[in-house]
Each structure stands twice: as structure tokens, then as C-alpha cells.
Amino acid sequence: MLSCKKEPQGSLLPVASGLPVTVTIDQSHPGNRIAGNFQGLSYETGLLIESPEILNADNTELIQLIKNLGPGVLRIGGNSSDNIAWTGHERTPANGKDELTTTEVDRLSAFSKAIGWPVLFGLNLGNNNAAAAADEARYVYKSLQDNVYAMALGNEPDVYYAYPIRTPSYNADNYQGEWEAYKSAIQLAVPQAAFAGPGTAYNTDWITAFVKKHNNHIKLLDAHYYAAGPASDPTINYHTILKPSWKLDNTLQVIRNESATYHVPFRITESNSIYGGGKVGTSDVFASALWALDLMWAIAGSNGEGINFHGGNGAIYSPIAIEHGIITARPVYYAMLAFKYGSAGNILPVSIDQPQYNCSAHACANADHTWSITLINKDESNRFSFTIQLTKTASNIKIVRLTAPGITSKTGTTFAGSMVNAGGTFKPAAGDQYAVNKKSFVINVPAGSAAVVTVQ
């Protein structure tokens, strides 16, 4: 229960001091419940081999950072998953970086249990060796046991032609044939195995074709999403990710519709700002936090189960950077904290009267009978004054903010007035609290920032 801090006598609620925006929230018609495991991180299979110290049960700081996010899903895969062969034995000096052994799987098992997140594990479809994949899946289930979330067969098969893993004529039907062969072999080795698919890069036609045929065979419908790329494109900058995205709207519309039609949950299992490892000045600055927070709410509002932000060694867009043994929480990580803070319940219908402005509003009916409102201002210059119109009377509100010194700041990001402490711990500050006792109030959100309002 919120406790309203004592304000000086005569203190008033915030008054409008920016461009006016009216946000109307229907508290009487809650929608889908936001999945408890919405949060997620994604890492390359190659990271298990090249950097054994990272996803390691002894890496207590990283473990704490992940625990701060609450329940989630850890995804192992990426392009490297289709280029790394399974050996089926412990690592020896003879094994190279293009070989995965039981040593890496056991280390991953211990790490996943330490963070309490199940693993979506990617198998190598690139070599088209179903027998090897079945043996690998058998060992993954043996080692991780109940901590296996599902198996993904191949990574971004719709762009296999570009790597090139397959010929330019490779199509969705070819992929489905290989997927079926893998699935049959794996189920013989691991009858309880669960599957995800198709893990596409961008081609939504592959999603439609796949789920139509395999909806009874998968636990999860999954796809990938990057705002733009490649990172080498000189025209891309932080403005790129702050603009509305037709690409995102199209991807979510297709996968949401297929998910609803076939009653299979969906998840964006690999995502970030700029593909190709991220772009300096875009993927590592505060603008990426505003982008990521809005993206998470877009997925939740489309009834998505969650998102896995991709990262790892040297990745500019990594939410948690690990360089030279130093662990740093980057802006996207703080966006994940902000989403967790304001998403413990059911989506509420929200309308905004100024859709032309570069801002958004999202709301949630929480399990503790409070309501959360997330207000995101992606405008670089304009402060917005959000007039919140509720259908029920609010007694108290609390405001916490996602901020940084500037929209292009690489450091100094805070959420709820706090930064990650030594050892990876995070404790939000109390925030600003007010007595309301009415259905309408104003929240001012400065340019390039966000606020999460808890309503009682």
C-alpha cells in the first residue's frame, strides 16, 4: 500500500508545464495478463566456448543483475549456433572454438539454476545433422533437467542464403522439411522435448506458413526483431530508433494474429536496436533505453510472452556489458528495470489525444490492486504534460523516473533515482508521492525521459 509522503502545507499536485497530452485509461476493462517471465536475455552459443567466465555460476555480479529483473528466460543461440558442432564429450585441448562439449552445457546448467531462468536452447540446423542434434538435445535435457524451456532448431533460416548456409533457392518448405526431421529425431531421444519456431529474422510469410503446419508441435512461436541495420550503415543514428516503426507494427501484427488463431504463445527471442552488434552512439546511449522500454510495452500490448535482448562480448547493444572483466549495466538494462516495475498485472486500454507527438503511454492493472502508468517521451526538445484521465478515483500516486544527463549519454542512467550498486544490487528510491483524490491529474515528463506512475 502506498504511503503518501508529507508535503509542505499548501503543496499541490504537479501543474502542466509542457505540451499538453491527454491520456485516457479504461480501468474497468483489463486485457491480457503480462507474462511473469517477460524479461529475457539472449547470448550466442559461441559465448559459452569463447568466454566461459561470463555465463558462469561463479559470476555473482552478473547473476545478481539478472535476478534484479525478476523471472525470465535465457536464450542461447544466434548465428554461431548454426556453425558450432556438437562433440558429445568433455572439452579437451583438441577441441576448438567451433565445437560445443558437455563441459559448456554443464556450466550453462549451473548458471541457469543460479539465476532461476529456464533456457531456450538453439541447436545447429546449419549442418543438417539431425542425429547430432538429437544427441545434443538429449544431453541438454540431462544436464539442465527442468530448466530447459524449449529447443530452437536453427537460427534465422529465412536468411540462410546470406551466410551462406543454404542456396538462394532455400525456402520455407525446405526449412519445414528439415525442422520435421530434427523434431522426429529429437523426440526419439527425448520424448518430453518441447520446441519453438521458426526463429525468423524478418520474413513474416515464413511465420504464417510454419505455425499453420506445426502449431500442435510447438510450445512457442518465435521471431526476431531489430529496429534497423546493419551497424555499418552511415545513415543510422539514434534518431533512427526513436522514430515510429512500420516494421515493428507489421511484425507484431502478423505474429500476434497467428498466435491468437492457433493458441500458441509468441516471444521475440532475439532483439536489439541495430543488427550487426549495435552502433556506437545509438545502441549504447540513453536513446536506446527509451526505445527498449517502448518496444517491451508494444510486445506486451500485442499479447507477447516476452522479449530476449541480444548481447555478449563486445556487443555495443548488450544490456549488460562485460569488458575486460568489468560488468556495466547499460541504458537498455535500466529500461528493463522500468518495465518490470510497471508491468505486474494486466494490460489496460489506453488512448492518447496527440498521436502525432513522439510519446507513448501504457497502463497496467496490478495484482496488488494498484495501477501503473508508463509515460515515454522520445522527443529530444519538447517537455510533455500528460493529463491522466482515469475511470476510477485515485487516492495517491507515486512517480519514479527513467532518466540520464542527456539522450546521447552513455553513462549516468538512473531508474527510480538509483543506479546499480557494486555487486550488481539495485534498490529503487521512494519517488515523489502525492495525495490525489480525483480521477484526473498531470504528470510532466521532460524531453528524452520516461516516468512510471503507480496509482492507488
Domains in the chain, ordered, with CATH?
A: 19-31+347-455 (2.60.40.1180), 39-341 (3.20.20.80)
Q: How far apart are CA 84 and CA 77, in angstroms?
A: 10
Residue 52, preceding peptide bond in cis (omega within 30° of 0)? no
In Å, the largest CA–CA distance within the chain is: 75
Q: What is the pLDDT of residues 369-420, one digit of tens each?
A: 999 999 999 999 999 999 999 999 999 999 999 999 999 999 999 999 999 9
Residue 8, preceding peptide bond in cis (omega within 30° of 0)? no
- Outline where 284-399 has alpha helix (H): 287-301, 331-341
Q: What is the pLDDT of residues 361-371, one digit of tens each?
A: 999 999 999 99
When the pLDDT of each residue in the chain is averaged and rounded to a whole number, the result is: 95
Pseudo-torsion of CA 412, 417, 423, 425, nearest 10°? Answer: -140
Q: Which residue has the cell 539522450?
A: 407
E strand or H helix at 350: strand 350-352
Question: How many angstroms separate the Cα of 77 from the Cα of each of 17, 122, 293, 455?
Answer: 47, 5, 24, 40
Q: How far apart are CA 42 and CA 271, in angstroms?
A: 8
Q: What is the pLDDT of residues 145-179, one digit of tens each?
A: 999 999 999 999 999 999 999 999 999 999 999 99
What is the CB neighbour count within 10 angstroms for residue 260? 12
The answer, yes or no, to whether residue 324 has pLDDT greater than 90, is no
The stretch 63-72 carries a mean pLDDT of: 98
Q: Are 78 and 46 in contact (CB under 8 A)?
A: yes
pTM of the model: 0.95
**Strands (E) located in 7-128:** 19-25, 39-44, 72-77, 85-86, 99-100, 119-123
User: pLDDT value at position 115?
Assistant: 98
Q: What is the pLDDT of residues 207-249, one digit of tens each?
A: 999 999 999 999 999 999 999 999 999 999 999 999 999 999 9
Q: What is the CA radius of gyration of the chain?
A: 22
User: 411 φ, ψ to 5°?
Assistant: -130, 170
The stretch 354-358 carries a mean pLDDT of: 94
Question: Three-class SS of residue 200?
Answer: strand
The stretch 302-306 carries a mean pLDDT of: 98
Question: Sorting pLDDT into bands at 50, 70 and 90, what band is 4?
Answer: very low
Q: What is the pLDDT of residues 7-37, one digit of tens each?
A: 333 357 888 899 999 999 999 999 999 999 9
Q: What percent of the chain has pLDDT over 70?
A: 97
Question: Three-class SS of residue 221?
Answer: strand
Q: What is the pLDDT of residues 236-245, one digit of tens each?
A: 999 999 999 9
The answer, yes or no, to whether residue 2 has pLDDT greater than 70, is no
End-to-end CA distance of the chain, in Å? 8
The answer, yes or no, to whether residue 6 has pLDDT greater than 80, is no
User: 268 φ, ψ to 5°?
Assistant: -85, 100
The stretch 109-125 carries a mean pLDDT of: 98
